[in-house]
Structure 1
Amino acid sequence: MADVSVRAARPDDAAEIGRIQVDTWRTAYAAFVPAAVLDSIDAAGAAEAWSAAVTAPPSPRHHVLVALEQQWRVGFAALGPAEELQPDDPEPATTGTVAAMLVEPRWGRRGHGSRLLAAVVDHARADGLTRLVTWIPEGDEATRTFLESAGWAADGLVRALDTGAGELRELRLHTEIAEATEHIDGR
């Protein structure tokens, strides 16, 4: 059995998180993110942003998590309180956002995404959140299928982002994460 885990990110993880983000976007998002956008991002800039997220999160409810296989960092996730909610969204005070969740493609299909998602839900529940949302590129069928298999669903919201090199359409998915009640004595 492989030595795999998920832990809170540390300051020395930032450079590798940035590299994973850039490499994964360039590989997995090439079909639906304009090439000029992918070419304009660099691992050093991403690492700087992740360093700030890890060392000075905006609140105690913001988390960056790292997936590991043996000594290698293979993916990461970022979670925090939801900031861009709609007026009719339910439970705004207890809704969180998964801002990023990526596993480097060469480490895919080994359960790292599932472990990251479980850790995200554990942290969200510990922070008193009951609902999560995330935005994914409209053409990202792999992420959509993965999240739907874990109980997430599209909620009908779509946004168009101006990338400066074209439009990127994203759809929002959501899930309820309230603790399931146990059935006792067949109830």
Structure 2
Amino acid sequence: MADVGVRPARRADAAAVADIQVRAWRQGYRDLLPAGVLDRVTGAEALAAWRQRWAEAAASPPSPRHRLLVAVAADLVVGFAAHGPAEDADLDPAVTAELVALLVDPLHGRAGHGSRLLAASADLLREDGFATLITWAFEDDEVMRTFLGSAGWAPDGTARTLDMGEPVRQIRLHTDIRGDGT
């Protein structure tokens, strides 16, 4: 595929990012989340809120170490990644970052966009002095776990249960991003 890449998101990308999030969640999480919860977080009201939140993330991130990146193909936003310092109490945010979101539009999947977003995130975070990158994934999300596993990620032994009207377990995955083999 020609004319593809990753770049920092702009405020004007917020609608595309939110639309991708909703489409990806509807497809990818339909068997992982209770239907009512999925309807609430992907409905029209939620979509408007997500558009506002992503516009703020692009225009006014909480710190210079927080970033929103978009994958583009022929000038069309086809995926996004958001990352920043880890917020879990057991981690050092000076050296551990969190991949908060990594989603590719289901209409543009399996074209390398997720891998490009992941690599760009790791490169930027490494430049910012981070050594480790973590993310939370639904325990039953085999697609995400397989994708991240193929890139060297593994569970770190930490799990949490979200109350979504029924318990939904997540596991924390991690990877070393130093790139020097240490």
> Aligning the two structures, in what range does the TM-score lie when normalised by the shorter sequence?
over 0.9
Shift of 1:126: 1.2
Given residue 120 of structure 1, which amino acid in structure 2 is its aligned partner? Answer: S
Identity level (%): 51
Cα deviations across residues 42-79 of structure 1 (Å, max 9, x unaligned)? 32111111111111111100000000111211100001
3-state secondary structure, aligned to 1:122: helix
Residue 162 (structure 1) aligned with residue 166 (structure 2): no
The match for 1:121 is 122
User: Which structure has the larger Rg?
Assistant: 1
Shift of 1:167: 2.2
Given residue 71 of structure 1, which amino acid in structure 2 is its aligned partner? Answer: D
Partner Cα separation in structure 2 for residue 80 and residue 19 of structure 1 = 22
Give the one of 54, 57, 66 matched to 1:50: 54
Given residue 109 of structure 1, which amino acid in structure 2 is its aligned partner? Answer: R
Unaligned runs of at least 5 residues, structure 1 = 182-187
Unaligned runs of at least 5 residues, structure 2 = none
The match for 2:21 is 21
What is the TM-score of this pair, normalised by structure 1?
A: 0.90
The match for 2:78 is 74
- 1:85/1:92 contact within 8 Å kept: no
Runs of 4+ in structure 1 deviating by more than 4 angstroms, as ranges, are none
The match for 1:149 is 150
3-state secondary structure, aligned to 2:21: helix
Matches within 5 A, 1:1-16: 1-16=1-16
Partner Cα separation in structure 1 for residue 73 and residue 118 of structure 2 = 16
Given residue 80 of structure 1, which amino acid in structure 2 is its aligned partner? Answer: G
- 2:68/2:81 contact within 8 Å kept: yes
3-state secondary structure, aligned to 1:128: coil
Cα deviations across residues 74-131 of structure 1 (Å, max 9, x unaligned)? 1000010001142xx5x55200000000011221110001100000001101111010
What is the TM-score of this pair, normalised by structure 2?
A: 0.93
3-state secondary structure, aligned to 2:88: coil
Give the stretch that moved more between structures: 102-111 or 58-67: 102-111
Cα RMSD for the two superposed structures = 1.3
